[in-house]
A and B are shown apart, each in its own frame.
Chain A
């Protein structure tokens, strides 16, 4: 290591011009990054971690202004450099990978060509060697059959493959610094693990410095040498990963660490960190099963959902145009389904389970496993191909989804959606959103009565009453989540389907929302069908867990048992892939830092 750090950020301050005046986004942030070092920039949304990273590349828009400090890279001052000089550096010396890999790739250009574009721009390779170099990069990021994938378009690749291509593009010119902005957010846990392993391994092998921006402390702990914690535009704490987790000094760091669900934490642990007093009832969920319930509230039997494959693939596997041009359709990432009839894809393949009154059941699996399709069918937003859904003694699958809106059972099944922003009508206020199901499905009463009812709901979910008149874009993520929950419980449903209700939220907000959901279930006696990919969260909230894989339930059982001693290899792989950290520095546990050091020494 050299004495001069590769990247120096010194008292950096950045302000944004907005409609309401200037907003200071960064307040004097300082840190350095050595060659070959992996640093995690951790913080919740709005903490300024992305602003810091984008500023290194000079990628902030015209509304942003550096009000103080400097960024030094090598011998250069990035904050005062001309745009042409920055352009030289971007891609060759510093490159970046983004959160949404599919969005960052050009959709109408084969991925191999896109890697070539980077090489052509920033390297001295002769023309005829470009293709070979691009394929070599695809090989290095461990894409199978790189020669074939060279010609693939981004839409033909899975999310994980797209991120691998992005990594290949970013590393094509051997940059000295890689900035990774939430590179695995939105990917499945097993894919996340594979991508992060690959990224860190390549960085170590090339002695490349990496600035990893993430909101996930688990990932930062597992893969970073040092971690910088940011809060509201300030760097509150920074240090070696092991030290930071063993003895966090700043209260915000402590709060963040405590709010991250771990394999051994309880809801009370999480909630204690947020400063909200825990409700007395917030104990382990296993004690709360309604003991005398005999009749299941929901009984799903042999549920099947089939989608016809596109017509061109039905007949001969090739469309007329494709036959003409001799190209084969590539559907990488979409695996062969079981043995459905020809020309049909089975998204859900004979799923059966029950939910007892007052019980909370987790439905776990990776994207594409059919868990969302299953929950949509149970919510009666989608018609199953075959199978029965008995709810409260009646077969609700018999009523077509289009007519279920008028069924008296509609109020009995409600849903909390994954993305709180997407699930609220942008033109309705919070009040209107919560009032909607009451107006349609219950007797709303007169104006004042409805207002009282909605204010009571807002109180119940912890939404300040004065926010009821706001539009969704004027609310924070956590507040929007509360509006979504208030809307779902407004008509006293018996079954609440939670579709990844916290995956779009910051950890501290997630902790509060999980506690709220757990409390509501106890108070109102609802049953939960909790759809999620986050096993740590599922364990906190669910009595029983069903693991779905390729449209089937591969394992089910009590949450504690299933997550500590899984039987099915898929469940094991899922549990292994969850990023973890050892907060107390237990010497018995093999710390990830040790493993990382070992790797670096090789």
Chain B
């Protein structure tokens, strides 16, 4: 089974080179997130005013900021916090959203009406403004950034799960599962839900990129993460002040990191679906 899975993975990767690129970049990001503090040449928090605002050089690949901190070290170390916020927010909205969406799609009727209207209500707000409001109201902490990002992502999962469950709930194999003695909840959890996973995985991957942007956006405007913690959004925000005076590297490199992360997750979606869908295995 594992040999077959490996063969399948190899096929998926070689058939579509973009998937290979995406997974390579993803590995890079994960490595930075897991081992970042061990790999970087400087302490990301250590200030050294002697070398403040130096352009990129062999000593400081991405240059230094106004307090003399190494930008490269800060960019690499920030990957952990940014990915952690995005992954936990997306995991939260995926779990909650797909559960309530599946219930709405499977049972229909009042459950569907109530859930769908609630989801519509969330969708009715401009999502970034809603996230700002949530963080401002609940308190300026990293957890609240996670919750806010999860809440604004939730409607996508709920709607998608509802639609995917809805088209499948009258399939022959669902009736067969009921005949086999599965109760309604079991049919939903053990039979229907695994079948709606492949399209949801694509959504998860696209959403991760979006969640990173969202978290960075919140810190950019000063919500959530507070200085001096290295975080891409704050670094871009801080660096933006120096662009006019010619210190472009402060904003550019964290911005590039952000772009790379979003790009990776967007590319990865299709590859993930191919990996997870048994129909693609022949």
Give the B-binding residues of A (Cβ under 8 A).
19-20, 376, 379, 381, 402, 405-406, 410-411, 413-415, 417-419, 422-427, 433, 436-437, 440-441, 471, 473-474, 484, 487-488
Q: Once the chains are docked, how many angstroms separate the CA of A437 from the CA of B182? A: 8
Chain A contacts for B194, CB-based, 8 A: 427
Kindly list the 3 A-B residue pairs having the minimum CB-CB distance in the complex, ordered from nearest. A440-B181, A423-B172, A437-B180
| A19, B173: Cβ atoms closer than 8 Å | no
Q: Once the chains are docked, how many angstroms separate the CA of A424 from the CA of B172? A: 7
| B172, A419: Cβ atoms closer than 8 Å | yes
- Mark out the residues of chain B between 232 and 282 whose CB falls within 8 Å of any chain A CB in the assembled complex: 278-279, 281-282
Chain A contacts for B171, CB-based, 8 A: 422
Q: Once the chains are docked, how many angstroms separate the CA of A414 from the CA of B184? A: 17
Known: A410-B179, A411-B181, A424-B172. 13 other contacts (CB 8 A): A376-B175, A402-B183, A405-B178, A418-B172, A422-B171, A422-B172, A423-B173, A424-B176, A425-B177, A425-B191, A426-B195, A427-B194, A436-B177
B219 CB to nearest A CB, Å = 40
Give the A-binding residues of B (Cβ under 8 A).
11, 171-173, 175-184, 191, 194-195, 278-279, 281-282
Q: Once the chains are docked, how many angstroms separate the CA of A410 from the CA of B171? A: 20
Choice from A376, A440, A487 contacting B182 with Cβ under 8 Å:
A440
Q: Once the chains are docked, how many angstroms separate the CA of A55 from the CA of B171? A: 33
Q: Once the chains are docked, how many angstroms separate the CA of A418 from the CA of B176? A: 11
6 interchain pairs, CB-CB under 8 A? A379-B179, A410-B181, A411-B181, A425-B173, A437-B181, A473-B282
Chain B contacts for A487, CB-based, 8 A: 176, 180
Q: Once the chains are docked, how many angstroms separate the CA of A11 from the CA of B282? A: 31
A278 CB to nearest B CB, Å = 30
Choice from A19, A402, A413, A471 contacting B184 with Cβ under 8 Å:
A402
Q: Once the chains are docked, how many angstroms separate the CA of A419 from the CA of B175? A: 12
Q: Once the chains are docked, how many angstroms separate the CA of A440 from the CA of B191? A: 13
A373 CB to nearest B CB, Å = 13
Q: Once the chains are docked, how many angstroms separate the CA of A427 from the CA of B175? A: 15
Q: Once the chains are docked, how many angstroms separate the CA of A426 from the CA of B177? A: 12
| B176, A415: Cβ atoms closer than 8 Å | yes
Chain B contacts for A376, CB-based, 8 A: 175
Q: Once the chains are docked, how many angstroms separate the CA of A414 from the CA of B179? A: 6
| B173, A405: Cβ atoms closer than 8 Å | no
B19 CB to nearest A CB, Å = 15
B9 CB to nearest A CB, Å = 14
Choice from A424, A437, A441 contacting B173 with Cβ under 8 Å:
A424
Q: Once the chains are docked, how many angstroms separate the CA of A516 from the CA of B78? A: 65
Q: Once the chains are docked, how many angstroms separate the CA of A414 from the CA of B180? A: 8
A16 CB to nearest B CB, Å = 14
Q: Once the chains are docked, how many angstroms separate the CA of A411 from the CA of B181? A: 8
| A19, B179: Cβ atoms closer than 8 Å | no
Asked whether A440 and B180 contact (CB < 8 A) given A426-B195, A427-B278, the answer is yes
| A19, B278: Cβ atoms closer than 8 Å | no
Chain B contacts for A422, CB-based, 8 A: 171-173
- Chain A CB within 10 A, most for which of B180, B184, B281: B180
Q: Once the chains are docked, how many angstroms separate the CA of A376 from the CA of B172? A: 12
Chain A contacts for B176, CB-based, 8 A: 415, 417, 423-425, 433, 484, 487
Chain A contacts for B178, CB-based, 8 A: 381, 405
Q: Once the chains are docked, how many angstroms separate the CA of A440 from the CA of B176? A: 12
| B173, A406: Cβ atoms closer than 8 Å | no
Q: Once the chains are docked, how many angstroms separate the CA of A488 from the CA of B179? A: 9
Chain A contacts for B175, CB-based, 8 A: 376, 381, 415, 417, 423
Q: Once the chains are docked, how many angstroms separate the CA of A423 from the CA of B179? A: 11
- Chain B CB within 10 A, most for which of A402, A405, A414, A419: A405
